[in-house]
Structure 1
């Protein structure tokens, strides 16, 4: 009797494991999409002290792109979707600095800044009808900076206005720069799934300050705008097509 009970238990466990395995499906997807990217404006970026000192910073979003691969492990209506994507973020930046009575010295900069990230999002996705229907998703991400570019123009006046100077520079990272190489935050949003095709509208909320006071004044010599706190804020529209494994 004991042997029969043990055998039945073993069969039940094997059947349960087989059923659980059958309910779990694995897919590999290719993702592409568009980013509306911006970094926050730190409160310390706007300062005035009578007529002797004034500086300000204003930012606008840039439109960029992302592409990568997604691994899906689905369990009925729930799925775990880790991914590896190349994602471009940044902002359009306008800064102004003046000092001295009657602004005898000032410098003004306009630039478009694009930063390249290798990102690892890990999203938990709920699909209303399993393989189709409305979706909700959320999860953390970590990202590694792998380059970038800053293009713009500097206008300066030292008693008299000088000719504008254009610049086109590569972004550097590390302990002796203003830029941290690692970012982290959370993604969340909604989507729709129809068979192998998934479309999602999401938002990436960066939680790590991207700037550090470790470099030199960048373009504006009176105030180091790139040392002010900055966090990634990105709206994302992506499409993913999944292949069965």
Structure 2
């Protein structure tokens, strides 16, 4: 009985200590994104008998903001967050086709900015609990809530007939028939530093879901020869985002 009482007392003390070490915080988060959507190598097809196709993307700077919740158990913490996160890419496209009177072409340059509600679920390890270096990792899911594509295109007809550049500004649509998936998912990981209520993190978001839907059957790209209509949406694309964020936590 004596040993049983000691064990029960020890268990109670352990539970009490563990409970005292568990803290809860609510934080405000903001930061910068360096965003890119990958391009399948098949999007670029040069030296073809009938012409050439070029689809290239580069990263753009965007932003994110939202709230984070923290449950901390000593050096280990669980930090889910709800963020408005802007992603996308800059792009350059060119379609060149041969003809009796010379080549014809359409080129375009512009920017695609897409808006997402993102839910990262990160586990964070801080070397000294509430201060010092951190490492973190965890999955995320995201829902697209809009976006815009802006830029300029120009047609070239024959060797000497060039049309005027045309500006475009279009809303990015999602769902069946649009070529864009509304849902994304992947993993985040990175390093950071915590000093009291302030946390700064440098992370990377690795998207694992294809952002583009397969084109309708009647518009599917040709499997033989050159297809002048082929574009980004005929390939697979994945979100790649480098993130620099700051979070200020309040005690609950």
Task: State whether TM-score is above 0.5.
Answer: yes
Report the Cα distance in structure 2 between the residues aligned to 1:178 and 1:158, rounded to whole angstroms: 29
Task: Give yes or no for contact 2:79–2:121 (8 Å, CA) kept in 1.
Answer: yes
In the superposition, the TM-score normalised over structure 2's length comes to 0.89
For residues 129 and 98 of structure 2, what CA distance do their matches in structure 1 show? 66
Stretches of structure 1 lacking an aligned partner (at least 5 in a row): none
Residue 66 of structure 2 is aligned with which of 65, 68, 72? 68
Indicate the larger mover: 234-243 or 103-112. Answer: 103-112
8 Å contact from structure 2 (residues 215, 233) kept in 1:
no
Measured after TM superposition, the shift of residue 221 of structure 1 is 6.7
Following TM superposition, by how much is the alpha carbon of 1:11 offset from its aligned partner in structure 2, in angstroms?
Answer: 4.3
Name the counterpart of 2:42.
Answer: 44
Alpha-carbon offset, residue 158 of structure 1: 3.3
What secondary structure sits across from 1:222 in the alignment?
Answer: coil
CA distance in 2, matches of 1:50, 1:228: 19
The 5 Å alignment of 1:149-188 reads: 149-159=148-158, 160-188=161-189
Does the 8 Å contact 1:52/1:103 carry over to 2? no
SS of 1:229's equivalent?
Answer: coil
- Note if contact 1:175-1:214 (Cα within 8 Å) is conserved in structure 2: no
Q: CA RMSD in A?
A: 2.0
Answer yes or no: is the 8 Å Cα contact 2:38–2:239 preserved in 1: yes
TM-score by length of 1: 0.91
Aligned mates of 2:57, 2:67 — CA distance in 1: 31
Cα displacement (A) at 1:177: 1.0
The answer to whether residue 238 in structure 2 is matched with residue 238 in structure 1 is no
Q: Aligned-pair distance for 1:8?
A: 5.6
Unmatched segments (≥5 aa) in structure 2? 221-226
User: What's 2:119 paired with?
Assistant: 120
Corresponding residue of 2:233: 226
Number of matched pairs = 241
- The alignment partner of 1:72 has SS state of strand
Cα separation, partners in 2 of 1:52 and 1:70, compared to 1, 3 Å: same
In structure 2, how many angstroms separate the alpha carbons of the residues matched to 1:103 and 1:140? Answer: 52
* Alpha carbons 1:51, 1:103 under 8 Å: kept: no
What is the distance in 1 between the residues matched to 2:148 and 2:165?
Answer: 19
Aligned residue number for residue 223 of structure 2: none
Q: Deviations over 1:41-88 (max 9, x none)?
A: 211110135341210111111101000111111111111111111100
3-state secondary structure, aligned to 2:177: coil
Between the aligned partners of 1:12 and 1:207, the Cα distance in structure 2 is 46
Cα shift at 1:197:
0.3
Distance 2:170 2:146 in 1: 11
Matches within 5 A, 1:7-22: 10-22=8-20
C-alpha distance in 2 between matches for 1:141 and 1:207: 10
SS of match in other structure, 2:15: helix
